Amino acid sequence: MLENIFDTHAHYTEESFDDDRDELITAIHKNGVKYIMLSVSDIEDTKKALSISRNYPFVYSAAGVHPECVGNIPSDYIQQIEKIIVENKDKIKAIGEIGLDYHYEDYDASLMKEVFTNQLILAQKTDLPVIIHSRDATKDTLDILRNHTPKKGVVHCFSGSAQTARELVEMGLHISFTGVITFKNARKALEALEVIPLDRLMLETDCPFMAPVPYRGKRCDSSMITEIAKKAAEIKGISPQEMLDVTCKTAMKFFDIKE
């Protein structure tokens, strides 16, 4: 059995887990999943994720506003997020996921940029790493990160080019991959994975989404990260267990989690 799994990006607040959330999280922990980081979409989701994390010593949470949710945030969102962080330092270990998403029509790029920037500034103030979401917005994401480079940051669910990966690594950032690298059309992501130093690499499921092969179409959970590790290990020329060991150690240091 593969062990030392750190799922650095999961969404166990999603409704698809409502019927068996506790049973599932308990079971996967007994079967190799060592740590889980909950990423969130807005302030209410942050509160829900924090509540879930309080039930398990191995589950931690981020806080923040996803770019798709910027249209529904209160004017004092930064103050609210900061208050949650300050009052829950033992469980809130990152700000995220934050960033830009130009995928759907009618997005407000200006507002997304403002909210992204404000949360990057908050990360500096609170000394927390950031979990970055970027979809169809590479240029603007890179521009903002150059001007507000976080002390620690990870670009999650990476599917960009090898050149973009190199630029992010040069900024000092980490890069995380999902089950996308197991898909047939994953050539671009795999080329990026090749150029990323092993110590800048993290693994995630983004569950319940993005289930890897051979689970495509099913609800994803953190145990499925083994398939992602196998593919990443193949590209890097190491064993799946070594891939999990290295990425777990990297994530623990990144999120400041002690044994």
Q: What three-state secondary structure class fits 12? A: coil
The predicted structure's pLDDT at residue 205: 98
Task: Give the position of tokens 């020329």.
Answer: 237
In this prediction the pTM is 0.97
List, in sequence order, every beta strand (DSSP E) within the chain.
5-10, 33-38, 59-63, 92-101, 130-135, 153-155, 174-177, 201-203
Counting beta carbons within 10 angstroms of the beta carbon of residue 242, is it exposed (0 to 12), middle (13 to 18) or buried (19 or more)? middle
Q: What three-state secondary structure class fits 172? A: coil
CA distances from 53 to 58, 68, 92, 142, 183 (A): 8, 23, 9, 31, 31
pLDDT, tens only, 19-61: 999 999 999 999 999 999 999 999 999 999 999 999 999 999 9
Contact criterion met (CB below 8 Å) for 62 and 39 = yes
